[in-house]
């Protein structure tokens, strides 16, 4: 549900009729300073409707049923299509449209998407009054008629744009004059037929400029906007692609598809059924967009928001402990991560809650265990109601007064839902580019070996990797000014397969001298059958055997490629952190850096992740706060990524949402050796859990079989002690933790 954007109270003085867009915006902002209720005045949610003929509407009223022809509840409309002047606010009904050559009075014989839109919005919220301001005009172009030009310079603007701003001014003035309150909630835009010869890039740029200018002129920086696709007649691909791209690039812009619509003429004007359908789709799309920060005009509330710390949240995909500061491999070259760890608290024993991308991120972005969300794999099909009801971290930050921005892999499908964020960076090739000659395993083994253990040293210009582009976008965001605190999240893809990176990162290492991982040939011999099967049944040819068969040097090649990809990420993160440290935000920004889980390179005869063992569950976690007493120290406590959410709530002095299952480790940031008795819980499929304490790892499978490892003497988890009777008390203690951490789910 959209929150308040601009609430305007009636004023004693009138706005002059010649008020410009700039002064109109200023008047609206000044009106926001008055926040007292006004007797029994009505409050209207105002939506702006603009575009050309299909927004104006060419659906035939005669094709509607008698019920559909009736007025729409409490909805009202202010319609103006210059040179026809407005009749003022009217009860909404079909007929607020001016078809070609029509000279009669309103209602006319045609209608637009406003009917389906208003009915759907009223059905969703019957108690809310709707007010639609419609300023559409058939046959108009974005190139000339709707050109937004320069703010405050009418001569640079197209005539329809100037008319529309004037229409908004007239309509809102009338509401104010009659004693009503109103809130500008969003813009509906449907146009493009007249620009069908424009290139995709040109129309996209023009539409983005229009959105920016409308927001500036009504004083709502994040005004929700829904853009509609023009009908696909085979000749408008450029415009359709541009409209789709504008919606895809921003979390505050929604898209209405024209799929399934029909026209009454040759492929241009939607018929009555389709106009109703489009209106309903506009309502759905609008309801899914995030609410911007209310423009209250209160300097006190703004000061309270800006005093809160900013948050830079960085995630890395598939990064294990092969980082210098974690000591997982002596050949790691991560000077930027190591330097950052020296400025922060490094959690040396942090673990994910599921060692798989989607499930891990679903856990730490909701603060819930998989046993509660139901998400154990890379799909949401098994998600329970608890997950659907969960307050996602960026949504919660947004509702707490933060500007939320992201780029890259934050959720499994990058940004998750668009509605989670105020701003989303452009799409990239994600894990690409691919190896120029194809993926090695695929070419050699086909479907017999499913794991994509491919690599390549790329001839690619600096800045060409997706992760480099994410870093550049993050630097750009840190170079901007904000009037509210920000939650900026960057998700880096490497070292995820295919392990491709620019040659310069490969050249940092001497492949022949690299230290290979410690691999025990018969490591699965003392693992219960269910765990063995997870490794051995992944495909016809498991990755470990495929690596051996491919070539005697392939393991070393993959190790080399993994190091190169980690070096790439280290460089990218270093660039972002240097920008932050040299920015005005340096002393008021919390930085959280984590990997979503670990990664096997042959240990336990396994490659990749997902398993209940140390190589899969151990995650990088570094937290830097401006005033933490423990900065520069290492914390050995076994925290989970699930604990990040409640920790940020405490650090930002915000009330956490209900349902969080993690614990705040805020005190450990001041005293890394302080008390902390809870182990980290990780799940692998429903009913299979492992807990990692400071010393022990205990695994209990759904069939009751167990594993127990003593990390004081067996850091590689080679010797399963579960069958040793002297270990029963240790097993019982850890089994009770599994029951305790999953019992409330």
Q: Looking at residue 114, what is its pLDDT?
A: 96
Which tokens is 402 given? 């933060």
DSSP 441: H
166-190: pLDDT as tens digits: 999 999 989 988 888 888 999 999 9
Which tokens is 522 given? 């018969």
**Whether 707 contacts 699, CB under 8 Å:** yes
Sequence-ordered list of residues with C-beta below 8 angstroms from that of 486, at least 6 positions apart, any chain: 310, 311, 402, 403, 404, 405, 477
User: Which of 325, 352, 357, 635 is the catalytic position?
Assistant: 357
Please tell me the distance from the alpha carbon of residue 648 to that of residue 14, in angstroms, as a whole number. Answer: 47
Question: What mean pLDDT comes out for the span 33-38?
Answer: 30
Q: Looking at residue 178, what is its pLDDT?
A: 86
Q: Looking at residue 297, what is its pLDDT?
A: 33
Sequence-ordered list of residues with C-beta below 8 angstroms from that of 616, at least 6 positions apart, any chain: 355, 597, 598, 599, 600, 609, 610, 682
- Using the predicted structure, report yes or no on whether residue 33 has a pLDDT greater than 50: no
List the domain boundaries for the chain.
7-292, 308-742
Q: Looking at residue 636, what is its pLDDT?
A: 97
- Using the predicted structure, report yes or no on whether residue 136 has a pLDDT greater than 90: yes
Q: Looking at residue 744, what is its pLDDT?
A: 59
Question: What mean pLDDT comes out for the span 368-396?
Answer: 91
Q: What are the strands, taking DSSP E only, across 307-349?
A: 310-316, 345-347
DSSP 344-375: SEEETTEE-SSSSHHHHHHHHHHT--HHHH--
Q: Looking at residue 239, what is its pLDDT?
A: 94
Please tell me the distance from the alpha carbon of residue 433 to that of residue 469, in angstroms, as a whole number. Answer: 13
Q: What are the strands, taking DSSP E only, across 191-293?
A: 225-228, 253-256
- Closest by alpha carbon to 547, among 504, 462, 605, 505? 605
Question: What mean pLDDT comes out for the span 189-208?
Answer: 93
Give the least confident one: 20-24, 195-199, 309-313, 572-576.
Answer: 20-24
- Closest by alpha carbon to 406, among 595, 398, 376? 398
Q: How far is CA 534 from CA 33, 378, 468, 542, 633, in A?
A: 62, 16, 35, 10, 37
- Closest by alpha carbon to 165, among 200, 132, 213? 213
Q: Is 463 exposed, middle or buried (0-12, 13-18, 19+ CB in 10 A)?
A: exposed
- Using the predicted structure, report yes or no on whether residue 299 has a pLDDT greater than 60: no
- Using the predicted structure, report yes or no on whether residue 475 has a pLDDT greater than 70: yes
Query: Which is higher by pLDDT, 18 or 490?
Result: 490
Query: Which is higher by pLDDT, 32 or 191?
Result: 191
**Whether 9 contacts 43, CB under 8 Å:** no
Confidence tier at 477 by pLDDT (50, 70, 90): very high
Please tell me the distance from the alpha carbon of residue 341 to that of residue 625, in angstroms, as a whole number. Answer: 12
Question: What mean pLDDT comes out for the span 77-97?
Answer: 92
Q: Looking at residue 219, what is its pLDDT?
A: 87
DSSP 594-618: EESS--EESGGG-EES-SSSHHHHE
Sequence-ordered list of residues with C-beta below 8 angstroms from that of 446, at least 6 positions apart, any chain: none
- Using the predicted structure, report yes or no on whether residue 62 has a pLDDT greater than 90: yes
- Using the predicted structure, report yes or no on whether residue 30 has a pLDDT greater than 80: no
Q: Looking at residue 154, what is its pLDDT?
A: 76
**Whether 610 contacts 370, CB under 8 Å:** no
- The phi, psi pair for 316, rounded to 5°, reads -125, 135
- Using the predicted structure, report yes or no on whether residue 444 has a pLDDT greater than 60: yes
Confidence tier at 307 by pLDDT (50, 70, 90): confident
* Cα radius of gyration (the chain): 29
Question: What mean pLDDT comes out for the span 682-691?
Answer: 96
User: Which of 412, 563, 606, 689 is the catalytic position?
Assistant: 412
Confidence tier at 31 by pLDDT (50, 70, 90): very low
Q: Is 106 exposed, middle or buried (0-12, 13-18, 19+ CB in 10 A)?
A: middle
Confidence tier at 431 by pLDDT (50, 70, 90): confident
3-state secondary structure of 580: helix
Q: Looking at residue 452, what is its pLDDT?
A: 85
% of the chain at pLDDT higher than 90: 77
CA angle, 380 then 385 then 386, to 5° = 95
The verdict on whether 357 is a catalytic residue reads yes
Element (H, E) at 338: helix 335-342
The verdict on whether 412 is a catalytic residue reads yes
Question: What mean pLDDT comes out for the span 390-412?
Answer: 94
Which tokens is 595 given? 């990997």
Question: What mean pLDDT comes out for the span 492-499?
Answer: 97
Q: Looking at residue 18, what is its pLDDT?
A: 32
Element (H, E) at 456: strand 455-458
According to the CATH classification, is domain 308-742 in 3.50.50.60?
Answer: no
The runs of H, that is alpha helices, within 588-723 are 614-617, 644-651, 666-670
Report the CATH fold assignment for 7-292.
Rossmann fold (3.40.50)
Which tokens is 114 given? 């406003």
Question: What mean pLDDT comes out for the span 364-368?
Answer: 97
Element (H, E) at 209: helix 200-218
- Using the predicted structure, report yes or no on whether residue 26 has a pLDDT greater than 90: no
- Using the predicted structure, report yes or no on whether residue 13 has a pLDDT greater than 60: no
Question: What mean pLDDT comes out for the span 310-337?
Answer: 98
- Using the predicted structure, report yes or no on whether residue 295 has a pLDDT greater than 70: no
339-362: pLDDT as tens digits: 999 999 999 999 999 999 999 999
Question: What mean pLDDT comes out for the span 226-252?
Answer: 94
Question: What mean pLDDT comes out for the span 509-525?
Answer: 95
Q: Looking at residue 293, what is its pLDDT?
A: 55
The runs of H, that is alpha helices, within 496-610 are 503-506, 529-536, 543-550, 554-581
């Amino acid at each position: 549900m959209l929150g308040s954007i601009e609430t305007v109270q009636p004023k004693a003085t009138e706005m002059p009729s010649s008020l410009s867009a700039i002064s109109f915006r200023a008047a609206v902002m000044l009106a926001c300073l008055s926040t007292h209720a006004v007797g029994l005045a009505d409050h209207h949610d105002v939506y702006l409707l603009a575009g050309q003929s299909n927004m104006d509407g060419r659906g035939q009223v005669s094709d509607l049923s008698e019920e559909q022809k009736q007025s729409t509840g409490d909805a009202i409309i202010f319609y103006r299509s210059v040179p026809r002047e407005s009749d003022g606010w009217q009860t909404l009904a079909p007929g607020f449209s001016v078809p070609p050559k029509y000279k009669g009075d309103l209602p006319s014989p045609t209608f637009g998407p406003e009917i389906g839109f208003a009915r759907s919005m009223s059905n969703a919220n019957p108690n809310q009054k709707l007010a639609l301001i419609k300023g559409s005009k058939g046959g108009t172009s974005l190139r000339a008629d709707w050109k937004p030009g320069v703010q405050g310079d009418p001569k640079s603007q197209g005539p329809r744009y100037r008319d529309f701003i004037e229409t908004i001014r007239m309509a809102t003035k009338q509401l104010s004059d009659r004693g009503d309150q109103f809130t500008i909630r969003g813009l509906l835009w449907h146009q493009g037929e007249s620009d069908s010869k424009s290139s995709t890039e040109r129309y996209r740029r023009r539409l983005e400029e229009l959105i920016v200018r409308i927001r500036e002129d009504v004083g709502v920086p994040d005004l929700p906007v829904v853009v509609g696709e023009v009908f696909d007649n085979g000749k408008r691909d450029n415009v359709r692609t541009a409209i789709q791209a504008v919606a895809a690039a921003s979390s505050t812009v929604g898209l209405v598809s024209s799929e399934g619509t029909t026209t009454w003429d040759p492929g241009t004007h939607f018929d009555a059924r389709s106009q109703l359908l489009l209106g309903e789709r506009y309502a759905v799309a609008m309801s899914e967009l995030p609410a911007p920060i209310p423009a209250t005009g209160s300097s006190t509330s703004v000061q309270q928001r800006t005093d809160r710390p900013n948050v830079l949240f960085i995630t890395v995909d598939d990064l294990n402990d092969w980082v210098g500061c974690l000591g997982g491999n002596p050949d790691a070259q991560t000077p930027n991560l190591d330097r950052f760890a020296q400025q922060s608290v490094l959690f040396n024993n942090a673990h994910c809650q599921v060692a798989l991308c989607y499930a891990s991120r679903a856990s730490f972005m909701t603060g819930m265990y998989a046993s509660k969300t139901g998400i154990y794999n890379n799909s949401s099909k098994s998600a329970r109601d608890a997950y659907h009801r969960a307050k996602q971290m960026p949504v919660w930050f947004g509702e707490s007064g933060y500007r939320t921005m992201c780029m890259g892999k934050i959720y499994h499908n990058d940004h998750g839902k668009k509605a989670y964020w105020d701003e989303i960076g452009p799409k990239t090739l994600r894990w690409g580019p691919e190896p120029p000659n194809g993926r090695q395993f695929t070419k050699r083994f086909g479907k017999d070996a499913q794991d994509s253990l491919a690599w390549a040293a790329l001839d690619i210009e600096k800045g060409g990797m997706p992760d480099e582009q994410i870093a550049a976008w993050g630097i750009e965001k840190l170079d901007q000014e904000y009037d509210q605190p920000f939650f900026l999240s960057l998700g880096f893809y490497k070292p995820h397969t295919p392990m491709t990176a620019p040659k310069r990162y490969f050249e940092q290492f001497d492949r022949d001298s690299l230290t290979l991982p410690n691999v025990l040939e018969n490591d699965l011999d003392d693992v219960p059958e269910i765990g063995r099967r997870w490794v051995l049944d992944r495909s016809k040819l498991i990755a470990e055997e495929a690596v051996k068969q491919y070539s005697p040097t392939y393991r070393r090649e993959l190790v080399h490629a993994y190091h190169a990809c980690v070096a790439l990420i280290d460089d990218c993160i270093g660039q972002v952190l240097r920008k932050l440290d040299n920015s005005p935000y340096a002393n008021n920004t919390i930085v959280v850096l984590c990997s979503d889980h670990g990664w096997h390179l042959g240990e336990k005869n396994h490659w990749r992740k997902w398993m209940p063992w140390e190589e899969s569950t151990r995650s990088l976690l570094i937290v830097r706060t401006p005033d933490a007493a423990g900065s520069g120290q290492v914390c050995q406590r076994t925290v989970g990524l699930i604990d990040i959410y409640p920790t940020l709530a405490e650090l930002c002095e915000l009330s956490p949402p209900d349902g969080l299952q993690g614990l705040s480790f805020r005190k450990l940031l001041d005293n890394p050796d302080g008390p902390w008795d809870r182990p980290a819980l990780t799940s692998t499929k429903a009913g299979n859990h492992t807990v990692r304490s400071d010393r022990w790892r205990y695994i209990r499978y759904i069939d009751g079989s167990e594993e127990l490892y003593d990390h004081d003497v067996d850091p590689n988890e080679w010797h399963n002690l579960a069958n040793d009777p002297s270990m029963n008390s240790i097993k019982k203690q850890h089994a009770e933790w599994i029951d305790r951490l999953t019992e409330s789910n």
